[in-house]
Structure 1
């Protein structure tokens, strides 16, 4: 299995971010070819030392990194990636990696 973890930094307007993310971005991202599961954080995000400067964490599950790369090369992936500029004004980081159960 592989994961794409998306870290959304604190936006200027959290309520506007949340509305847009749920009504527009999630439906776009759920069209990604090969997407197996889509999870988002609920509530505040913190570190062992206290509050983090993150507003939301999204974890998207795929079968492989190649599937993630293929998904973002697709028209649906281009639409989802292009949409980030419409609401993620606080900044966003994307990480993709394989996983193994231990």
Structure 2
């Protein structure tokens, strides 16, 4: 599987971020064609009890590289990307990976 991973640093206003992420951004992401699974993790800290450098991690799963490529080129993904940049462009890091079995 191919994963698109978004790591979000601490937002200035967590309540505002959470509201937008849940009510606006997630529904847009869920429309992306070929998306097999969306997994969102709220980062609570490090194993040593220190604050983590990240607030949230989102992982979007796709069956394979072709499905991922098609999804990234879709109008649904462009809409999700435009929204992402509007509310979290300055706090998000994005990467692509493949699961290892």
- TM-score normalised by the chain length of structure 2: 0.88
Point out where structure 1 has 5 or more consecutive residues left out of the alignment. none
1:12 counterpart residue number:
12
Which whole-Å CA distance do the structure 2 matches of 1:6 and 1:45 have between them? 17
Q: Is the 8 A contact 1:35 1:61 kept in 2?
A: yes
Stretch moving more, 44-53 or 15-24: 44-53
Which whole-Å CA distance do the structure 2 matches of 1:85 and 1:6 have between them? 12
Point out where structure 2 has 5 or more consecutive residues left out of the alignment. none
The verdict on how the C-alpha distance between 1:50 and 1:20 changes in structure 2, with shifts beyond 3 A counting, is same
1:100 counterpart residue number:
100
**Given the alignment of the two structures, is residue 25 of structure 1 paired with residue 5 of structure 2, yes or no?**
no
1:62 counterpart residue number:
62
- TM-score normalised by the chain length of structure 1: 0.87
Which whole-Å CA distance do the structure 2 matches of 1:65 and 1:9 have between them? 27
Stretch moving more, 68-77 or 42-51: 42-51
Which whole-Å CA distance do the structure 2 matches of 1:74 and 1:23 have between them? 21
Q: Is the 8 A contact 2:3 2:99 kept in 1?
A: yes
TM-superposed CA distance for 1:98, in Å, is 1.4
The verdict on how the C-alpha distance between 1:48 and 1:64 changes in structure 2, with shifts beyond 3 A counting, is farther
SS in 1 for 2:32: coil
Moved over 4 A (4+): none
